[in-house]
Structure 1
């Protein structure tokens, strides 16, 4: 019986294309990490992460070939130099992988509701399932090695209490109410992701070849450090601890393992994830002072992200995503 072939929708093409670009980058990153990692337990995690990225690239390549869609350039062996000296510690590689799985789960979860064909749904569900396995693996290992940073403990509620005053929403002046558990969650998480970004960008700033890329990384580091300090103050005002930095996990090498194109893309990807994190935190933070800071943070990194895109365009590193037809141009 002949079956009708269903074309890919714009959301399916866009999701697969972004999946290919990101995972082709991670293939390069984990190939390098695999040559440097010394801890045999962490090595197994890196191997697992590399295998997943390679599988995702292969699946998307197969689908695009069957559809007659161009295979993205993404990132290739020209973007990685596995013989370069080590830039990050084994512990950083594990922490980095945990943070990347968190971002991937958000990305795949956002893509899945907008895909329709059964094979594409199965692909993204498989991505979520396999990434959850890697997330659990990295979390268990971080805990076993004493590297996982838990969020602060707070007292258990002994009784139900209803909010009766508008002061619950207040901010800026006078005595503020204590932070809610959800507010603490997002403040703590955003410090952790910023610490990861700061450590990553510190390493990349040491090895980037182009001066404008190096200066861009330096600027990003300062933005991140300033935002971290604002968030830490909220925790300290409530006598809560803040997570430690990971800057010490960056080695002093000045020989780059990656192309400037790859490093700039990774920082752009992490910046975009940061904007999403702040948006989620904003929606869950009733206090006006905290919400106002999240809005300001989004504005700061939004401008930073735009400058990053301009740098990619300047150096001809920005691959144009799938797009709608320009009918006006076609009718000329």
Structure 2
């Protein structure tokens, strides 16, 4: 990437780049492992296209770090993957992972693009956002072809304009509860799918984690994601709507040999949690019904506490790479 001027990159340029480098090294080695076992030709092709995109992104990011004389992050390497390990997940779960991963990529690149100060960096994010959108569309269409894509429930066609006249529009815990809004249904279905995937992945991780401490951490996460899925499903059922997603634990094999390091698996789960917290917050802003807002707030607090436990494990083992930060002026003044 050629620099057109000497303007130094800011925290808004570098920090999202640093975070994405960490995440995409996890994605890279995950896909490299998946490709050792995938059998479906179409899913294999999608995995290869995703890997090509991620490797290209990592190369570009390393180029930017070098041009800025900024230390390239350590991230995750071939030491964090055991390619000879037996298959842990099915092809269907590989596909569901790629589809959900594109949401994470689109969210990250969209945010990074909006806050970037340097034109060349924002252009880089814009290109990657476009590529992530393309990948998302491919994965969604492939899920439809495979018959595993769960569509959101249908709602009645609105034939005339109407205005809210009743306070029960906001009610939830007390009084007559109105039916779910279309956007509220959309949020519940989205979170159901994310937690179904998370439950399956963490179930697999709990089987293969090498440390007892890490295994217990994953067992707790498995139970939390399963409970969250039940919460979202029960809310949909109150309005006689279909499930937003189904448990995917049948897509996890019974192997006990770890394909990934404990450090990689915990960091991957931490990324899932961070994404969930952000999405729960968005759902609060688009769900006027009070009971839904309180449910999301409660679930956010639960996963936030769980995320903190994961960070403590990473720090205790010396696994947490320090992100870019401001200078400590108090120490410098001593």
Q: In the alignment, which residue of structure 2 is the partner of 1:219?
A: 220
Q: In the alignment, which residue of structure 1 is the partner of 2:264?
A: 262
Matched, 1:109 2:110: yes
Match of 2:301 among 299, 302, 309: 299
Question: Take 1:227 and 1:98, find their aligned partners in 2: how far apart are those partners?
Answer: 20
> RMSD value over aligned CA atoms?
1.1
Q: Unaligned regions of 5+ residues in structure 1, if any?
A: none
Cα distance per residue 1:52-90 (max 9 Å; x no partner): 111111001001111100010000000011110000000
Cα distance per residue 1:18-71 (max 9 Å; x no partner): 111111111111100111101011000000111111111100100111110001
Q: In the alignment, which residue of structure 1 is the partner of 2:49?
A: 48
Q: In the alignment, which residue of structure 2 is the partner of 1:179?
A: 180
Q: In the alignment, which residue of structure 2 is the partner of 1:166?
A: 167
Question: Take 1:64 and 1:226, find their aligned partners in 2: how far apart are those partners?
Answer: 41
Cα distance per residue 1:108-144 (max 9 Å; x no partner): 1111111122221121111101111110110111111
Say how many residue pairs are matched: 331
Q: In the alignment, which residue of structure 2 is the partner of 1:278?
A: 280
Question: Take 2:61 and 2:232, find their aligned partners in 1: how far apart are those partners?
Answer: 39
Q: Unaligned regions of 5+ residues in structure 2, if any?
A: none
Kindly report which structure 2 residues correspond to 1:70-149, keeping only aligned pairs within 5 A, or say none.
70-149=71-150
Q: What TM-score, normalized by structure 1, do the two folds share?
A: 0.98
Question: Take 2:165 and 2:108, find their aligned partners in 1: how far apart are those partners?
Answer: 38
SS in 2 for 1:36: coil
Cα distance per residue 1:234-258 (max 9 Å; x no partner): 1101000112121110011110110
Question: Take 1:225 and 1:27, find their aligned partners in 2: how far apart are those partners?
Answer: 27
Question: Take 1:133 and 1:51, find their aligned partners in 2: how far apart are those partners?
Answer: 14
Question: Take 2:146 and 2:221, find their aligned partners in 1: how far apart are those partners?
Answer: 30
User: Is the CA contact 1:23–1:57 (under 8 Å) kept in the aligned structure 2?
Assistant: yes
After superposing the two structures, state which structure 1 stretch, 228-237 or 203-212, moved more. Answer: 228-237
Q: What TM-score, normalized by structure 2, do the two folds share?
A: 0.97
SS in 1 for 2:35: helix
Cα distance per residue 1:216-275 (max 9 Å; x no partner): 011111111122212111110100011212111001111011000000000000011110
SS in 2 for 1:158: coil
Question: Take 1:113 and 1:174, find their aligned partners in 2: how far apart are those partners?
Answer: 42
Q: In the alignment, which residue of structure 2 is the partner of 1:239?
A: 240
SS in 2 for 1:107: helix
Question: Take 1:297 and 1:89, find their aligned partners in 2: how far apart are those partners?
Answer: 29
